[in-house]
Structure 1
């Protein structure tokens, strides 16, 4: 008997949580972004599960998956594809790059040069690429999961604001708690990912889930709450560049997805607060260029404390 999208989603979440011990909230937010159609940036030190989470998410989908290892010599055509001469037909034909997949893992994205990074911009925002003035649609669903190590600066190229804004959320996984790490050492759950997580979600089910997310009700007071939060990030005296309108839309859709994952048909202010840090923090840029993530997080905490939630 064929499973429903909701049943498949439950199995999908259980499989991902089993592969990434002690990261339930991170998995929950990643799944919310996924069913909301938003790209994900995983940022933390090596060995904390960034690639494991990306692989687990991609393995659970019965679609195409490609991994792009970003390096300093990567070229845009290595990502999007290139036109090559077909000698028999005496014409140029398009050879798609690894970007043409349902799930694309952009591993260590900040190790590539800005030209290669910029090749993702059109794809992430418009689900299409343009090569030699010809436009090619990407498959649906289309999701980019990128990883980067924020603490290693040598040989890296920080993502510009325009690129960061294309990511719906940024997750920092941190180290596992003691019990989860003990279990990880005993069982080596990385083998779960290496041996293969069974695909339980089909592309058409993903599209159905995204339609369900769009139908989750967001009442006007909650929409007003979202707008006041993003506006407050722009007005904060310590902020050089605050959250964009795209960030506000992402906060709304991620909140809808969180409500859907919790089995509700409406968004609460708690959903908004729960999603706010992951959706907004990488889009808030403090003055002076110092402080980075920690300063942005502190600013966002101030904003969430200062903006009253609707009753």
Structure 2
């Protein structure tokens, strides 16, 4: 059976182009009413224009769908709340939130200004926080919500020149981990998407990427799954060029070291501490403490 979004209302931020545009078009094509949010800024966050969002809305409407444009900056919580309130007033709810808006200000950390670091974190991390906070209570009240954070391999694994971007993107994983726990009782499912696609955000990487194979439309099916009725929760889904993978944050079984020479024990046994045999994906942060206490109890004959 085809997966549909009839009757659902979705907000997609940064939807004036690239991945956001494809996400919005794909949701609308399967029946969702879509708020196309885009400030219309340049890749580095400068300037603004309403036309990109309006153009995407025109595409959706021409194809028989329903959509409205919104130019709120995700860094402005008052404007974000007004966007959500407008969507609820118009269509009755917000069921799906796709936190996709982002900017780049790439430089090596040595050359990066603190202003550029803060700005990128503000857009990616606090922008997602602002949007999620604005829809959270409504989703809890209706016992339904689907939220996706857009993370990145640059956050999960690092990338030269992207300390600000990588820090923000990994922070979104931490946000997702906790919100998926807190939202579970109200059927709010929260996931992360780590896309690889050729958009204006990645155009400088052209020499390293086979751009013809990296269309953003190849990522959106993964996004649709993460916001569907039967979506999983607490997933980091990597997607690009038609390939889909899962990334995990794991912890090894480790080893026990204590006493005056604990430092030397750690140094001597670091290969044992690092061994991935028996590693787990914790259900919550307390799992680390339980692993450590279990080792301590075993060492003391408990």
Structure having the higher Rg: 2
Query: What range is the shorter-chain TM-score in?
Result: 0.3 to 0.5
TM superposition score normalised by structure 1: 0.32
Higher RCO (C-alpha 8 Å, min separation 6): 1
